[in-house]
Amino acid sequence: MTGNAKSAADLTDAEVKSAADKLLSLVGGSIATYTEACLRCGQCAEACHFYHASGDPKHTPAYKLVPIAKAHKRSVSPLGWLGLAPKVTREDLAEWEELIFDSCTMCGRCTIVCPMAIDISSVVASTRQAFAKVGLGPADLREAADNSRDRGSPLGLTPEALEDRIEWLADDNELDIPLDKDKAEVLLTVSSIEMMKYPQSIVGMAKLMNAAGADWTFSSVGYESTNFGYLSGRGDIARTMIERITTAAEKTGAKTVVIPECGHAFGVMRWSAANILGRPLPFEVLHITEYLAALKRAGKLKFKPYDGSLTYHDPCQISRRGGATEEARYLLEDFATDFREMTPTGNRNWCCGGGGGVQAMARAADLRHKVFQIKMDQVEKTGAETLISSCANCRLTMDESAEHFHWDHKRDSLIELLADHVIE
Amino acid sequence: MDLLDFARGPALQFAAGVFCFGVAWRLAVLIFTPQARDLTPARKGALPGPVAGAREVFRRMWPEMHPTGSNMFTTINGYVFHLGLAIIVFGFAPHIQVIKSFFGISWISLPPVFIHVAGGITMASLLAALVKRLTSPVLKLLSTADDYITWAVTFAPLVTGYILVGRLIQPYNTALALHILSFAVLLIWFPFGKLMHAFIVFLSRARTGAHLNHRGAQL
Amino acid sequence: MSGKLTLGEHMSQRGVSRRAFMKYCSYLASTMALSPAMAPAMAQGLAAARRQAVIWLSFQECTGCTESLTRSYSPTLEDLIFDFISLDYHHTLQAVSGFAAEEAREASMEENKGKYIVIVDGSVPTRDGGVYSMIAGRTNLDILAETIENAFAVVAVGTCAAFGGLPYAKPNPTGAVPISDLVGSKPLINIPGCPPVPEAMTGTLAHILAFGELPALDDKHRPLAFFGESIHDRCYRRPFYERGLFAKSFDDEGARKGYCLYEVGCKGPIAYNTCATTKWNGGVSFPIQSGHGCFACGSPNFWDQGGFYKSLPSKTTSIGKMAAAAAVTGAALGAGAAFVASNSKKQAAKET
């Protein structure tokens, strides 16, 4: 899935200006404040898994602020008006492409240590849009976005394929998996990573929803909650993906849209979608762990205890950036008899290294593998048998890296584990 | 008019003018750059934005995560010279008198010996910070001229302060004038460089505090 | 005044008999280990000696310097006038006035050409041709120029003469200038103070008379013996300064305990004078000892340095309104800059 990557060296002057213009158009009050706030203290480097993996100073998160900072300064300072402030150049775009895409998962760990609380993730997300505008960014990432727009999902899960898959899974597991119900309270969405690679987690979700007696459905109009438009910086595709889900929810009259085990899918739908669409969403958005935790609280879900030792990896977009850190732990409460937190954990946990689309970038594989050493170390220190998480992208990243290292430690999904132990 | 008259008079006046003008300009730019409203609903239990923002300003005064690697040095050293400067600026009787002449408020001063010790520690701390900036690969990549100029204008008043207190330059008038002028230079540089963080810190921490609290993502 | 009288004639006028004078000279001779036969020669020599001529000019002044001088303890003014110097011209102290006084001055200048000392107190007005201070129909400028032409040295006594003093303070309506502006290359000593410590004046004169030359001076022409150290460095309250113990206001607890007066405006650190050691009224006290901060009355511009009760490091100009105006202007322009940037962004958004 690599294709021919466009190189910054190939950009025309007009394209360079176009990228610079796009950067400038994205500088709002927050980004302006953040770029002016940086003290260049360098503490963010220690918090970043990519810096740890490579030891290369260029992977310091604060360095990622430079391109948009230049655009901001040039537009707002008298020196800039006189043309005396540096502008964004072709060389900048060439140098920073890898820093904005390959070596940032927008995990927000840097913001934790920053004394000025600079939200570098949001700056990177905006900066990606400028690169994407002129066709820059890893080719496989762009392709995933194209696929999402043209075929419905990054991995080629078309509405027809969706229908096929659901039918097959329902049959195989003797489970009722509703698709395209006229009306339903809850619209469940998928991440095609699950559909294509971890179909058991789809089965698991269906099982749990049914056990709780929920009134839910999938919809072939809007099913893909991953958003490679957002990840690749292509705002038009990001918007398309959100519109599909919104249309599907409005069509079924759903009050709740549930995001499956995926991190950025939750982050985008819950914390960005309304802003991208320009209007509040007429439904609430919950991650599957939040939804199930609510059901458990209401007494609608009960589980047989799980005896093995477990440790939990916090997906960044759900915990640190998403605010749903406690839901997974509530689900594990009274369920996992031997649960061990890794160090650090919760909102301070280390990123798996594959978020933000990095897992889809073939050329970032080496760096991702180096990053995974941090996670392996964390897990081994807990002595737990099984590592679980509730993000399919984290799962894919960890599986792929584990295979690279021949790390045979058991790995699983929280949803699948819960589904296996639900009392129906 | 001798150098001291110039320092205490027109120099401070000009410096104060540039300071007020520049700081107001910089803050106005940030405050008047529009930010799109967040249309997503806040997580249940989230505080109002300004409250969460104010809270974050204070929360960040203590590290959120145990500093690892060289961050331990950066964190501790940062506290040392900030606290040192605070002790010197706000605790030394002549400085309190300056503040009184500007703002009409004053408070009890610290015994001078504390100031002399704090001054030495602060200078050592700032020198250590400079060495770090000059030798760390991360900081060498990030650093700009601003970082060094800001360091120099912050260090200079400590040097001239010690010269004054130690009578290393005679007469007293000249040494006092140099000390006041070094402060005037700091005031003039302030709005152009990194020292603005003294004000921007409130804005940046508040924005992130409100943003993350909206998501319920506070630590 | 007697520019023409010898010391002998002067002694005789004071009622010292010839016999008493001879006895004095014998005593002098024996102490100088001269033979008794030398006494008459000594008597003759001394009797014929001329005393140091001093012309005292008073311009824009308050007479405080002369008042202070009359309180000198060692040497006393009387010692000076009658035994050491011949004060040929001084408005306040001399008996004659009018034309006779002027004639006396001119005569002394002629007789003692190149040897007389001019003492000046008060500043010299220069605006409007110097009409703001005139004596005998002549401007101070004129009189000074004429008097110092053949003088041996000029001694500017008091801060007005040394640095311009009170008349020189803002707005200086008379265009007052210090004497130093007007003496050209003539040897000049400044003995500032408002007024100067009496012993600073008499001691300096005694030095000149004893050694025939000017004492060591600082860069402001002040005798180092009296102006070489600051009040702060010789102040008996200095230990309180070092310990950070201050009077916060007059007559508060700190003040009554005799703490340092830095916070009620003492300018000791920049005041170079002898008050802290020599003190006033024969060593009785000085302002700080009496509970009032020094205001550096021997320094140039001390009237315009912010205020006697404002502490030394305080700013001396009014900044509030200007700062507020600067802040408002800055904020407006900053908002304008954000607006300009916003337009650029709209433009950029259109083009993307």
Q: What is the dihedral of CA A69, A75, A80, A82, to 10 degrees?
A: 170
Check residue C99 and give its pLDDT.
82
Residues of C in contact with B25 (CB under 8 A): 330-331, 333-334, 337
Residues of C in contact with B34 (CB under 8 A): 342
> Do B6 and C313 contact (CB within 8 A), yes or no?
no
The answer, yes or no, to whether residue C142 has pLDDT greater than 80, is yes
Residue A137 CA to residue A107 CA, distance in Å, equals 19
Q: Which residue has the higher pLDDT, C60 or C40?
A: C60
- Residue A303: CB atoms within 10 Å: 20
Pairing of strands A216-217, A284-287: unpaired
Check residue A281 and give its pLDDT.
97
Among B20, B32, B112, the residue with its CB nearest the CB of C242 is B112
Q: Which residue has the higher pLDDT, B179 or C23?
A: B179
Give me the helices (H) in C194-260, please: 198-211, 224-227, 231-234, 238-243, 253-256
| Cβ distance of C339 and B22 shorter than 8 Å | no
Mean pLDDT on B25-51: 94
**CA angle B153–B155–B161, rounded 5-degree value:** 110
Q: All domains of chain A, ordered by start, with CATH?
A: 8-137 (1.10.1060), 141-295 (1.20.1050), 299-421 (3.40.50)
| Cβ distance of B29 and A62 shorter than 8 Å | no
Check residue C2 and give its pLDDT.
46
Determine the straight-line distance between the first and last CA of chain B, rounded to whole angstroms.
Answer: 58
> Which chain B residue has the Cα nearest residue A270?
B40
The answer, yes or no, to whether residue C112 has pLDDT greater than 90, is no
Kindly indicate the confidence band of residue C88, based on its pLDDT and cuts at 50, 70 and 90.
confident
Classify residue B186 as left (phi > 0), alpha (psi -120 to 50) or beta.
Answer: alpha
The answer, yes or no, to whether residue C32 has pLDDT greater than 60, is no
C-alpha closest to that of A398 among A407, B20, C322, A4 = A407
Check residue B142 and give its pLDDT.
97
Residues of A in contact with C339 (CB under 8 A): none
Among B1, B25, B176, the residue with its CB nearest the CB of C334 is B25
Kindly indicate the confidence band of residue C196, based on its pLDDT and cuts at 50, 70 and 90.
very high
The answer, yes or no, to whether residue C7 has pLDDT greater than 70, is no
> Do C130 and C138 contact (CB within 8 A), yes or no?
no
C-alpha closest to that of C270 among C245, C236, C294 = C294
Residue A277 CA to residue A182 CA, distance in Å, equals 24
> Do A76 and B29 contact (CB within 8 A), yes or no?
yes
The answer, yes or no, to whether residue C148 has pLDDT greater than 80, is yes
- What residue ranges of chain A have pLDDT lower than 50? 1-2
Tokens at A377, concatenated = 């170390």
The answer, yes or no, to whether residue C182 has pLDDT greater than 50, is yes
Which residues are CB-neighbours of A101 under 8 A, at least 6 positions away?
Answer: A128, A131, A137, A138, A141, A357, A358, A361, A364
Residues of A in contact with B154 (CB under 8 A): none
Residue written as tokens 């394929």? Answer: A161
Lowest mean pLDDT among A48-57, C37-46, C52-61, C132-141: C37-46
Pairing of strands A386-389, A336-339: unpaired
Any idea what DSSP says for residue C36? G
Residue A148 CA to residue A192 CA, distance in Å, equals 10
The answer, yes or no, to whether residue C33 has pLDDT greater than 60, is no
Mean pLDDT on C65-82: 72
Tokens at C348, concatenated = 């950029």
Which residues are CB-neighbours of A362 under 8 A, at least 6 positions away?
Answer: A1, A2, A138, A140
C-alpha closest to that of A5 among A98, A105, A89 = A98
Residue A358 CA to residue A376 CA, distance in Å, equals 18
> Which chain A residue has the Cα nearest residue B213?
A323
Collapsing DSSP states into helix, strand and coil, what is residue C53?
strand
> Which chain C residue has the Cα nearest residue B2?
C300
Kindly provide the b/e burial profile for residues C324-333, where b requires at least 16 CB atoms within 10 angstroms of the residue's own CB.
Answer: eebbeebbeb
- Residue A13: CB atoms within 10 Å: 8
Angle between helices B71-91 and B145-165 (to 10 degrees): 40
Cα C248–chain centre separation = 31
- Bridge partners of residue A285, in order along the sequence: A257
Mean pLDDT on C166-194: 95
Question: Which of residues 330 through 349 in chain C touch A, CB cutoff 8 A?
Answer: 337-338, 340-341, 344-349
> Which chain B residue has the Cα nearest residue C321?
B17
Among A32, A76, A323, the residue with its CB nearest the CB of B43 is A323
- Residue C213: CB atoms within 10 Å: 10
C-alpha closest to that of A377 among A42, A43, A51, A52 = A52
Residue written as tokens 């609430």? Answer: A284
Q: All domains of chain C, ordered by start, with CATH?
A: 7-227 (3.40.50.700), 231-335 (4.10.480.10)
Kindly indicate the confidence band of residue C46, based on its pLDDT and cuts at 50, 70 and 90.
low
Cα A12–chain centre separation = 32
Check residue C16 and give its pLDDT.
74
Residues of B in contact with A321 (CB under 8 A): 215, 217
Which residues are CB-neighbours of C223 under 8 A, at least 6 positions away?
Answer: C189, C191, C200, C203, C204, C207, C215, C216, C217
| Cβ distance of C341 and A25 shorter than 8 Å | no
| Cβ distance of B217 and A320 shorter than 8 Å | yes
Mean pLDDT on C198-222: 86
Model confidence pLDDT, tens digit, residues A34-60: 999 999 999 999 999 999 999 999 999
Which residues are CB-neighbours of B81 under 8 A, at least 6 positions away?
Answer: B122, B125, B126, B129
Among A25, A77, A133, the residue with its CB nearest the CB of C345 is A25
Q: What is the pTM of this model?
A: 0.90
> Do A222 and A285 contact (CB within 8 A), yes or no?
no
Burial of residue B108, with CB atoms counted within 10 A of its CB: 0-12 exposed, 13-18 middle, 19 or more buried: exposed
- Residue B190: CB atoms within 10 Å: 21
| Cβ distance of A76 and C348 shorter than 8 Å | no
> Do A342 and A311 contact (CB within 8 A), yes or no?
yes
| Cβ distance of B8 and C269 shorter than 8 Å | no
Cβ of A21 under 8 Å from any chain C Cβ? yes
Return the HEC string of chain A.
CCCCCCCHHHCCHHHHHHHHHHHHHCCCHHHHHHHHHCCCCCCHHHHCHHHHHHCCHHHCHHHHHHHHHHHHHHHHCHHHHCCCCCCCCHHHHHHHHHHHCCCCCCCCHHHHHCCCCCCHHHHHHHHHHHHHHCCCCCHHHHHHHHHHHHHCCCCCCCHHHHHHHHHHHHHHHCCCCCECCCCCCEEECECHHHHHHCHHHHHHHHHHHHHCCCCEEECCCCCECCCHHHHHCCHHHHHHHHHHHHHHHHHHCCCEEEECCCHHHHHHHHHCHHHHHCCCCCCEEEEHHHHHHHHHHCCCCCECCEEEEEEEECCCCCCCCCCCHHHHHHHHCCCEEEECCCCCCHHHCCCCCCCCCHHHCHHHHHHHHHHHHHHHHHHHHHCCCEEEECCHHHHHHHHHHHHHHCCCCEEEEHHHHHHHCECC
Smallest CA–CA distance, residue C303 to chain B, in Å, is 12
Look up the ipTM and state it: 0.95
| Cβ distance of C319 and B13 shorter than 8 Å | yes
Q: How far is CA B66 from CA A46, A56, A88, A113, A120, in A?
A: 11, 22, 36, 9, 20
Kindly indicate the confidence band of residue C348, based on its pLDDT and cuts at 50, 70 and 90.
confident
Residues of C in contact with A72 (CB under 8 A): 341
Check residue B60 and give its pLDDT.
93
Any idea what DSSP says for residue C280? B
Check residue C5 and give its pLDDT.
66
Residue C309 CA to residue C304 CA, distance in Å, equals 12
| Cβ distance of C328 and B24 shorter than 8 Å | yes
Return the HEC string of B28-66.
HHHHHCCCCCCCCCCCCCCCCHHHHHHHHHHHCCCCCCC
Check residue C1 and give its pLDDT.
44
The answer, yes or no, to whether residue C194 has pLDDT greater than 90, is yes
